[in-house]
Amino acid sequence: MVHLVDALLMAVIILNFVALGSSRIRSSVRVVGMQGVILGTLPLIVHHTVTWRGVVVAMLAVLLKGLVIPKMLEAGLHPSRAPREARPFVGFISSLLLGAVGTGLALLFAQTLPLAQAHTGLLLVPASLCNVMTGFWILTTRRTAIAHVLGILVLENGVFTFGLLLLDAMPELVEAGVLLDVFVGVFLMGILLKHIDRELSEVDIAAEPMTILREE
């Protein structure tokens, strides 16, 4: 069981690298969706006793993270518009290298954390740290609105991963994490991206940041 969990978490970490290195927004959306599917199924594997409640939460998480949110994001990507992150503040190669360094540090750092006996040696904590850092990196170095949403999703996947440690004792907190998805998914992207699309028809949201409001 532990091997399966670790293998899946390894996949999550590798997907972070794909997200860091790819300039095509569409593939980044897919990557984040795949991460969501893996993380959504993990509660069922990690959980010691499978309950109806657990199954419903896992299914909801997979549905939201893996299907609904990526579909909504892709719907926001107009085929006529630039499908690429054109000018990130930090290049893709540098981002990848920094990602590798960050992953190494996360693995080292997680070993020094005072974890409960049952949780030592698991990849859950380093994977969570990696995702949080990758999420912040994407948020700060990309310019487009969609990339920012992706950054939040990756960050949120990291938070969700840490929550898996609490699954047995406090399932309700992990469920709150799924609510965060509903929030980001439905409201931030579903509603607001549509408005942005309508309002800024002359400006391409996939290429231009929103920078009217600033201190002069």
Partner 1 sequence: MLIALLILPLLAAVAAFVLPSDRWRAYLVPLGGALHFLVLAPLVVGPTVTSSGNWLVFDPLGKLVLSAISVLYLVCSFFVPGYLAHYNHRPNRFFVMAMLGFLSATSLVILAHHLGLMWVAMEATTLITAPLIYFNRNVKSLEATWKYLLICSVGIALALLGSFFLAYASIKNGLPSSLLFEDLVKMAPQLSRPWLHAAFALLLVGYGTKMGLAPMHTWKPDAYGEAPGIVGALLAGGLSNCGFIALLRVLRISQAGGDGAYAHEAMIAMGLVSMVFAAVFMVRQNDIKRMLAYSSVEHMGILVLGVGLGGEAIYGALLHLMNNAATKGVMFLAAANMHRTYGSKQIADIKGVLHRLPVSGALFIAGFFAITGSPPFGPFVSLFTILGQMMKSGRFFVAGLFLALLGVVFIGMGASVLAIVQGRPTALASASPDREKLWSTAPMVVLLAFVLVLGFYIPAPLQHLLEQGTAMLEVTR
How far apart are CB 188 and partner 1 at their closest, in Å? 5
Taking Cα atoms as reference points, which of 49, 36, 18 lies closest to residue 180?
A: 36
Q: How far apart are CA 137 and CA 155, in angstroms?
A: 9
Residue 72 near partner 1 by CB under 8 A: no
Which 107-136 positions form the footprint of partner 1 (CB under 8 A)?
113-116, 132
State yes or no: residue 69 binds partner 1 (CB under 8 A): no
Q: How far is the CB of 3 from partner 1 (least distance, A)?
A: 24
Check binding of 48 to partner 1 (CB under 8 A). no
CA 42 to chain CA mean position, Å = 15
Binding residue for partner 1, selected from 196, 204, 207, 208, defined by CB under 8 A: 196
Binding site residues, partner 1, CB under 8 A: 113-116, 132, 139, 145, 148-149, 152, 155-156, 158-159, 162-163, 165-166, 169-170, 172-173, 176-177, 179-180, 183-184, 187-188, 192, 195-196, 199-200, 210, 212-213, 215-216
